[in-house]
Amino acid sequence: MLLTGFSTLVWLLYMIMLVLAVVALFLAATAREDAYRAADKQKKSFWLIILGITVAVNLFVPMLFLQLAGAVASIVFMVDVRPALKAVSGGGGRRGGSSSDGPYGPYNGGR
């Protein structure tokens, strides 16, 4: 019974890593090439190759060490590269704000 629960947990971990890699690959593929350069990140082709290998490893190579390395690459893309791409592309998450808005509202010039 304990072994069945552990195998279910491992299967769930594999699925989470696969979904994360597929989502990261999709987001990397849909981002503009010039946004990678403007954000001073690796080239789009670099991320497509790394994330494509990650998806392939998750699907075809049942080695946890390789899958964890791919998960690290996917997480790096999601938490570092993707926000930088969004900020450069104009999708920084601020709707309706101006360029003078600070973290606590508009900057009024010290008045």
The H or E element containing residue 102 is strand 101-102
Q: Domain tally for the chain? A: 1
Whole-number pLDDT of residue 10: 86
Domain-located, residue 104? no
Domain-located, residue 58? yes
Domain-located, residue 46? yes
Q: What is the three-class DSSP state of 32?
A: coil
Segment 53-104, tens digit of pLDDT? 999 999 998 888 999 999 999 999 999 999 999 988 876 555 555 555 666 6
Domain-located, residue 109? no
Domain-located, residue 50? yes
More confident residue, 96 or 45: 45
Domain-located, residue 76? yes
Give the structural domain span for 63: 8-89
Domain-located, residue 54? yes
Q: From the CB of residue 25, how many other CB atoms can be counted at a distance below 10 Å?
A: 20
Q: From the CB of residue 21, how many other CB atoms can be counted at a distance below 10 Å?
A: 27
* Tokens found for residue 20: 């994360």
Q: What percent of the chain has pLDDT over 70?
A: 80
Domain-located, residue 108? no
